[in-house]
Amino acid sequence: MAFFALIASGFAADMSYVATTIAAESKDETMISDAYDTFLALISDHEIKAGELKYPARIADHRDNGVIIERTYYVSPNEMRGFSLFIPKDCVTEKGEILISTAALVIESEETRQGVRCLMLKKKN
């Protein structure tokens, strides 16, 4: 029983990751699903047209040089899966509470970190 108490206290120690997961509301589900469809299209060598990618601004990670759209989940206690899209600052705009791509986008580079496939996007030439 002490073992389970130790594990539970470890999980309770840092619950900050839960806030981002819970931040999505039911009204966001369509845009999150569409963002995943965009990810699948990109890894299938398709470009994304301007205005095609839309995402709730409040659950995106805003950086100085762009925006990160990321959704991850645990498939087991030590194994994550998910996707991440980095969109350069000059390729996205915010209208109301929605981020919208403003240019045709393609993959510039990609990497996988802990089961999360991360795509760096750029404007299509």
pLDDT tens figures, 76-119: 888 888 899 999 999 999 999 999 999 999 999 999 888 889 99
Domain region containing 44: 2-123
pLDDT of 62 reads 94
Of 86, 95, 97, 102, whose CA–CA distance to 53 is shortest? 102
pLDDT of 21 reads 52
Residue 11 has pLDDT above 50, yes or no: no
The DSSP symbol for 108 reads E
Of 40, 50, 37, whose CA–CA distance to 87 is shortest? 50
CB-CB contact of 30 with 37 (8 Å)? no
pLDDT of 76 reads 83
The two tokens of residue 65 are 């040089």
Q: How many domains does the chain have?
A: 1
pLDDT of 22 reads 53
Residue 17 has pLDDT above 70, yes or no: no
pLDDT of 69 reads 93
What is the chain's mean pLDDT, rounded?
Answer: 84
Of 101, 107, 51, 103, whose CA–CA distance to 84 is shortest? 107
Report how far residue 71's alpha carbon sits from residue 21's, in angstroms, rounded to the nearest whole number. 8
Residue 29 half-sphere exposure, CB side, CA atoms within 13 Å?
3
Q: What is the pLDDT of residues 21-74, one digit of tens each?
A: 556 788 888 898 999 999 999 999 999 999 999 999 999 999 999 999 998 888
In the sheet that holds 105-113, the strands lie side by side as 61-62, 66-76, 79-88, 116-123, 105-113
